């Protein structure tokens, strides 16, 4: 296959050449590709003549979205509209990446693919808008929601904890936000398996299980052999000292029911974290 990938240099996009080994990856990235310009998206997809589009490009700065909602919607909603229209016009399937932040975190149990989204932040609302654009405009579309993605590339919670633990004797981490840390490599492999099955719709693909950010920090440092102290605090207490514009869901754990029914399941988050740290080099 020829696969056109938006956000090709991001955490997930960077894993696509490995996950789809033997296929041709065509990256859509600046300066030649502008997700916020319809003519740029349409022209790039037409020129690539792909068999599949994977749309992982997005504006993912959660607090930045609160400061600049126009940019958030222009990128995450309108950009997805343009990609969906281009893929539909080309007659090819589309994978759109979305987020657990489309939920408000108050369910008290993992979210199913059919639970009603209620995002708390501009980021979550703009990503939900992108989902709706894709599902409305394209009948051969997979929407893949995931959570707390990390990889060796770019800044993320896991690599930030490793860096800070090497610089400070004590870290303060929120203990009342829960979800599933997801290794980008595992997510890319799951997407490869998913597109082999032409069963379109919404999927929740995260590493199995869930934990708090505090638990994730503790486990990360323990597996890495770092001895910085990790101090748990509530999100309310943390915001008193570190104001954050965007509200975060308390428990946005995703339940993979639709993917599991097709035999597509990701490993537990702890085993994924262990594999990551065994090969990670700052």
Instruction: Give dist(CA 274, CA 208) in Å, integer.
Output: 14
pLDDT, tens digit (0-9, with 9 covering 90-100), for 185-242: 999 999 999 999 999 999 999 999 999 999 999 999 999 999 999 999 999 999 998 8
- Does residue 123 have an active-site annotation? yes
Whether 47 maps to a domain, the answer reads yes
Q: Residue 225: left if φ>0, alpha if ψ -120 to 50, beta else—which one?
A: left
Whether 225 maps to a domain, the answer reads no
Using DSSP bridges, classify how beta strands 2-6 and 149-150 pair: parallel, antiparallel or unpaired: unpaired
| Phi, psi (deg, nearest 5) at residue 160 | -65, -40
Whether 222 maps to a domain, the answer reads no
SS3 at position 253: coil
Whether 232 maps to a domain, the answer reads no
Average pLDDT over all residues of the chain: 96
User: Exposed/middle/buried for 279, CB within 10 Å: 0-12, 13-18, 19+?
Assistant: exposed
Whether 142 maps to a domain, the answer reads yes
> Active site residue: 82, 123, 150, 200, which one?
123
How many domains does the chain divide into? Answer: 1
pLDDT, tens digit (0-9, with 9 covering 90-100), for 231-262: 999 999 999 988 899 999 999 999 999 999 99
What's the domain range around 79? Answer: 2-155+180-209+252-269
Which of 26-30, 38-42, 90-94 is the least confident region?
A: 26-30
- Six-digit token pair at 155? 């800044």
Q: What CATH number corresponds to the domain at position 120? A: 3.40.50.720
Whether 215 maps to a domain, the answer reads no
Q: Is the peptide bond before 92 cis (omega within 30 degrees of 0)?
A: no
Whether 218 maps to a domain, the answer reads no
pTM: 0.96
State the pLDDT at residue 18.
Answer: 97
């Amino acid at each position: 296959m020829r696969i056109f990938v938006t956000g090709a240099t991001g955490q997930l996009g960077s894993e696509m050449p490995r996950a789809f080994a033997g296929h041709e990856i065509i990256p859509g990235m600046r300066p030649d590709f502008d997700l916020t310009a319809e003519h740029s998206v349409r022209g790039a997809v037409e020129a690539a003549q792909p068999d599949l589009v994977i749309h992982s490009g997005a504006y993912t700065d959660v607090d930045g979205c609160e400061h600049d909602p126009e940019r958030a919607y222009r990128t995450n909603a309108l950009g997805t509209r343009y990609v969906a229209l281009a893929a539909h016009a080309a007659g090819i399937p589309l994978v759109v990446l979305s987020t657990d932040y489309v939920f408000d975190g108050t369910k008290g149990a993992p979210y199913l693919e059919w639970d009603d989204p209620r995002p708390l932040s501009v980021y979550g609302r703009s990503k939900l808008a992108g989902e709706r654009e894709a599902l409305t405009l394209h009948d051969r579309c997979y929407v893949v929601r995931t959570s707390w993605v990390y990889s060796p590339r770019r800044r993320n919670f896991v690599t930030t904890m490793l860096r800070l633990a090497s610089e400070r004797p004590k870290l303060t981490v929120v203990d009342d936000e829960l979800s599933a840390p997801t290794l980008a490599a595992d997510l890319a492999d799951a997407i490869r398996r998913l597109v082999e099955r032409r069963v379109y719709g919404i999927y929740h693909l995260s590493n199995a299980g869930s934990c708090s950010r505090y638990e994730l920090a503790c486990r990360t440092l323990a597996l890495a052999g770092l001895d910085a102290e990790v101090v748990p605090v509530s999100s309310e207490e943390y915001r008193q000292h570190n104001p954050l514009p965007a509200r975060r869901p308390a428990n946005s754990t995703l339940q993979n029911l639709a993917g599991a029914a097709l035999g597509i399941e990701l490993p537990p988050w702890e085993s994924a974290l262990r594999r990551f740290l065994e090969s990670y080099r700052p």
